Amino acid sequence: MTQTTVAIIGAGPIGLELAISLGRQNIPYILFEANQLGHEFSKWPPQTRFFSTPEHVALAGVPIHTPDQIALTGEQYEAYLRMLCEMFAVNLRNYERITAVHKQPDGQFILHSRTRTAAHQTRAQYVVFATGGLTRPRPLHIPGEELPHVTHYFPGPHKYFRTRLLVVGGKNSAMEAALRSWRAGVQVSLSYRRSALNFERIKPHLAMDIGDRLEKGEITFYPSTVPIEITPSHVVLASTQEDGSPNGRVTRLPADFVVLATGFEADMSLLAEAGVELVGEEQAPQHNPDTMETNIPGLFVAGTAAGGTQIHKFKLFISTTHHHVVNIVRTITGVEPTQVGTTTSRNTAATYEEVKAN
């Protein structure tokens, strides 16, 4: 059985930043990842850019430099994560899924894990869940949702060239899928359960763009509708009332492909099985925001995992959760890390000696 001080579950940005911070203080840790480092970014469509600028997604005080100084693509960020992993010799065990976390009478934890070939056990004094909040698509539970021409992940527009595509949703992901597909020569329709798009909740450049497309009729809009059945040849859209519930009227819309941009949800099952109390509709883990420790002593949450499934409004992002790393490291070690997030010398005339001191 492997022994470590801290077991981190989830090698997304905040899990990686926590691993680097612990390593800088010579605290033994293992960073477990069920898939690959930064796995969520591999689900993004090709060449999709962050909404945040580079300094907001930088980690561990290491700046991100790009030739054009604009928001990174998912592929560029994956390369940045790989660089950090090698630069700091991160103790990453990828493709090793944690299947259970059990607290022992002596206060330590036993983590059960599985690779492609074997089962393993690890003993740790502390456990941190940095498993994210977008584990799986939020299903609609309608007939035809599992058909091969239906997806919750937009694969990029080329697949849909010269076809009829229905995009379902009214937020940023739906807007990007609709706009990129339309520009790639796709006949795009957009279904949204409300009577109008909420442009205040759509990123400004997307809001302006989709507004122009809808006004000119270049993308066909079906407001106040929800899909209730998907077939190989068409989608049945039910008209909705203002509260989003069906009112009995239906439209049969021909469609070759369907993108369900209906959001994602967190998987809190491991936390629940470990005894962590989950609170409210979003099933957010109960924790002390000053330490990020849950109701189970020694078990912490970090990053977007701390918010569960953020249903109504996203508040936890990479850029707003760097302090989780600070709080956890300070609680475990008594020392507050200074090199988190973007570099402290950004936009200053800091000397080499000042940067080195930080």
pLDDT in tens, 119-173: 999 999 999 999 988 788 889 999 999 999 999 999 999 999 999 999 999 999 9
Residue 241's pLDDT is what?
81
* Structure-token pair, residue 136: 């799986």
Q: Which helix (H) or strand (E) holds 322?
A: helix 322-333
In a shared domain, residues 306 and 243: no
Domain boundary pick from 242, 260, 278: 260
DSSP annotation of 294: B
Question: What are the φ and ψ backbone dihedral angles of 219, each rounded to 5 degrees?
Answer: -120, 130
Q: How many whole angstroms separate alpha carbon 329 and alpha carbon 335?
A: 7
Q: What is the residue-wise DSSP string for 168-196?
A: E-SSHHHHHHHHHHHHTT-EEEEEESSSS
In a shared domain, residues 281 and 335: yes
Domain boundary pick from 231, 260, 289: 260
Which domain, by its residues, includes 82?
2-135+264-357
Q: Domain tally for the chain?
A: 2
State the burial class of residue 127 (Cβ atoms within 10 Å of its Cβ: 0-12, 13-18, 19+): buried
Contact 38, 74 (CB under 8 A): no
State whether residue 299 is helix, strand or coil. strand
Residues (pLDDT < 70) of the chain are: 244, 343-358
pTM over 0.85: yes
In a shared domain, residues 200 and 270: no
Largest CA distance in the chain: 70
In a shared domain, residues 299 and 158: no
Residue 345's pLDDT is what?
56
SS3 annotation, 215-259: HCCCCEEEECEEEEEECCCEEEEEEECCCCCEEEEEEEEECCEEE
pLDDT above 70 covers a percentage of the chain that reads 95
In a shared domain, residues 110 and 253: no
pLDDT tens, 42-53? 988 888 888 888
